[in-house]
Amino acid sequence: MTESTLSRRRMLGGVAAGTLGVAALGAAPEFSTARAQAAPIRRQPAPSGTYRIDLHAHFLPPDYRAALLAHGHFTIGGYPTPTWSPEDALAFMDYYGIQAQALSVSDPGVSFLHGKEANDLARYCNDYAAQLIKTHRTRFGAFAVLPMPDIAASIEEAIYALETLRLDGVVLLSAYDGVYLGDPRYEPLMIALNQRRAFVFVHPAAILADAKPELPLPDFMEEFTFDTTRAATMMMVTGMTQRYPDIRFQLSHAGGTLPFLSHRIGVASQTVLGDLWPQDLPKPSILDIQNLISRFYYDTALSGYPAAMASVLTVTTRDHIVFGSDWPFSAATLPQTGDHDPAPGLSNIFDADQRMEIERHNPLRQLPRLAEAVNT
């Protein structure tokens, strides 16, 4: 990437913020004269039984957790690095009516290691997941971790995990060493994943310390959602999602802030800003962005409440929403006491049939191997 390109992008970002900000300020008086009246929330009954399929659930195999701690990762996104075991996972699932979890390694993946160490740890995690699936065939699936940002090694591991181990997809972080999905250097990996029609779970990564404001807040509270938004936006504006339509991308936490920003992202290149748009990037229109955003899958992890779900429903259809618990990183909010519903807020916007669609049918449509296992 040239310095001139970088300068154009900086200029574009600055002018976009200013122009759209002025537009927003110009509209402010209209809203200052009236208050929006929120409709009363009516809680609807949830389905009963053990039916949920959890597509945002993590695992920390023993050697993986030991490696995290040995390299100083005592917190993940500001959350204390949790313990995990198959027994604890099954107990959690049984309490909250979860039939199966598609397990994945959370941030930082294996990117805190390099070379053979990263390759070996990724292989260990994926082999561990495959053995767990054999032992508990109807209870677990898995998304393979890749030794990113090593592209060649990641392609090799993806092929092994998808074709030999028959894992259900792969997990990618929003960025590696500050380089976001959508960057051209990831192109060979995307080609391999597209050829295999892979399901890709996009999980946020912690922001590099020198690239974020110094706020007394843990990354998981806000920064994780912002990073998911950055990754999704870069995949769209660089044309990655358009070039590889057979990859199905699941965005964590209801897509971060992507639904809220959907119009803003699409309108930028269609204004006077179009003349400043970087020459090496396609110019998405509002309709382009609306179409691309509608194709992502959005999970309910830490987002199963009306404000988040109503926002998602403005940019996609209900069949693109999938259930996620974010356990064990959500253990503090899901303490296995009281209500056996892991996402009671969903009943404030969805009825029982719609919840069954989101929490079971939609996830199983995307993961045919897991669907076959749980339905036989």
317 versus 78: the higher-pLDDT residue is: 317
Residue 137 has pLDDT above 70, yes or no: yes
Quickly state the pLDDT bin for 8 (edges 50, 70, 90): very low
Over residues 135-152, the mean pLDDT reads 98
Residue-level pLDDT at 226: 87
Burial class (CB in 10 A: 0-12, 13-18, 19+), 67: buried
* Beta strand pairing call for 75-76 and 79-80: antiparallel
Q: Between these two residues, 255 and 272, which has the higher pLDDT value?
A: 255
**What's residue 304's pLDDT?**
94
Give the model's confidence band at 75: pLDDT under 50 very low, under 70 low, under 90 confident, else very high: confident
Per-residue H/E/C for 317-358 = CHHHEECCCCCCCCCCCCCCCCCCCCCHHHHHCCCHHHHHHH
Q: Which residue has the tokens 């380089």?
A: 179
Q: What is the mean pLDDT of residues 304-315?
A: 95
Q: In the 8-state DSSP scheme, what is residue 363?
A: H
248-251 and 297-299 as β-strands: parallel, antiparallel, unpaired?
parallel
pLDDT for position 5 = 41
Q: What is the mean pLDDT of the chain?
A: 86
Residue 269: pLDDT over 70 = no
To the nearest 5 percent, what fractions of the chain are helix, strand and coil? 50, 10, 40
pLDDT at 266: 79
pLDDT exceeds cutoff 70 at 301: yes
For residue 184, CA distances in Å to 195, 231, 247, 261 come to: 17, 13, 16, 24
- Confidence at 323, pLDDT banded by 50, 70, 90: very high
**What pLDDT does residue 20 have?**
33
pLDDT of residue 29: 36
Encode pLDDT of 92-126 as tens digits.
999 999 999 999 999 999 999 999 999 999 999 99
pLDDT, average across residues 251-272: 83
